[in-house]
């Protein structure tokens, strides 16, 4: 590691799809305990970078280091087990299950069924105890996000914003160190957005690290202490919000599309 403060480090990451180079030598670091923004025009390679970090895609070259350990090419559940989890741009709840039922499934879904089985004792009393603990944590999370009154509601009946809160609550049940959020504010009304941002800051104070792909520039500029700009598969600029806002190359990349 080049600095002790970084929790995530990408080195010359490369991902090709046939003739298209979606990520073209991207390198950056995310400092532990920060809310860092990842922005860039459409097609810049942000989603593909996210997918390479979280094991959805295997990069063609380069490396991803998390917490000082190489995680390049690991399976998504192996990466989640190490404390790096993500949310998706399109929420992945089960609409015909209740909010609480969705919460109870969360660790299984993120960490993988096989791992879940391997840590789940066969003794029935232990299973019951473990379920009880999980249920308690699930309630704590729902309470934290102020959606505990919706516990018995079908997830399919929630608003877009409430689904984003549920998604974040589910991700936190796996007790991660770092969260990658893919457009957490998309489809969220202004009052819920404010609440969601407050929760993110509260979680940051508890020690969590966030990497955020977000199109809403106000969110990026007002809530991220560090901003990384991608363009054509690599990092064009990075710095504090004010620097990025007035960076000529960044303005040109956005105008040029």
Rank residues 44 and 141 by Cβ distance to ligand ADP and give the closer one. 44
Which of 7, 13, 22, 155 binds ligand ADP (CB under 6 A)? It is: 22
Residues contacting 75, CB < 8 A, separation 6+: 55, 112
Minimum separation from the CB atom of position 15 to ligand ADP (A) = 8
Counting residues that bind ligand ADP (by CB under 6 A) gives 11
The string over 56-71, giving b where at least 16 C-beta atoms fall within 10 Å of a residue's C-beta and e elsewhere, is ebebeebebbbbeeeb
Q: How far apart are CA 257 and CA 47, in angstroms?
A: 17
Nearer to ligand ADP (CB atom), residue 48 or residue 110: 48
x/- letters, 150..189, toward ligand ADP (CB under 6 A): ----------------------------------------
Q: What secondary structure letter does DSSP report for 56?
A: S
Q: Which residues make up the interface to Mg ion (CB under 5 A)?
A: 47
Q: Toward Mg ion, which CB reaches closer, 74 or 213?
A: 213
Q: Which is nearer to ligand ADP, 10 or 104 (CB)?
A: 10
Q: Which stretch binds ligand ADP (CB under 6 A): 3-11, 45-53, 94-102, 218-226?
A: 45-53
Give pairs for 131-140: CB < 8 Å, separation 24+.
131/104, 134/104, 134/107, 134/173, 135/100, 135/104, 137/173, 138/100, 138/103, 138/104, 138/106, 138/169, 138/173, 139/100
Contact residue for ligand ADP among 47, 72, 87, 162 (CB under 6 A) = 47
């Amino acid at each position: 590691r080049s600095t002790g403060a970084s929790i995530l480090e990408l080195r010359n990451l490369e991902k090709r799809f046939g003739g298209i180079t979606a990520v073209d030598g991207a390198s950056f670091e995310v400092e532990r305990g920060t809310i860092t923004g990842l922005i860039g025009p459409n097609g810049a390679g942000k989603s593909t970078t996210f997918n390479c970090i979280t094991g959805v895609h295997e990069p063609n070259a380069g490396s991803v280091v998390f917490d000082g350990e190489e995680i390049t090419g690991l399976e998504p559940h192996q990466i989640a087990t190490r404390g790096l989890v993500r949310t998706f741009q399109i929420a992945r709840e089960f609409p015909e299950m209740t909010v609480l039922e969705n919460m109870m499934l969360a660790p299984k879904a993120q960490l993988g069924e096989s791992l879940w089985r391997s840590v789940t004792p066969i003794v029935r009393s232990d299973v019951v105890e473990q379920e009880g603990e999980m249920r308690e944590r699930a309630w704590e999370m729902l309470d934290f996000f102020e959606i505990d009154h919706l516990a018995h509601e079908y997830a399919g009946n929630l608003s877009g914003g409430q689904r984003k809160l549920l998604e974040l609550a589910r991700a936190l049940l796996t007790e991660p160190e770092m969260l990658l959020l893919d457009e957490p504010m998309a489809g969220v009304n202004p009052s819920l957005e404010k609440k969601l941002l407050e929760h993110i800051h509260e979680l940051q104070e508890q020690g969590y690290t966030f990497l955020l792909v977000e199109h809403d520039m106000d969110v990026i500029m007002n809530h991220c202490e560090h901003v990384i700009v991608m363009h054509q598969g690599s990092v064009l600029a990075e710095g504090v919000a004010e620097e990025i806002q007035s960076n000529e190359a960044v303005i040109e990349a956005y105008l040029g599309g």
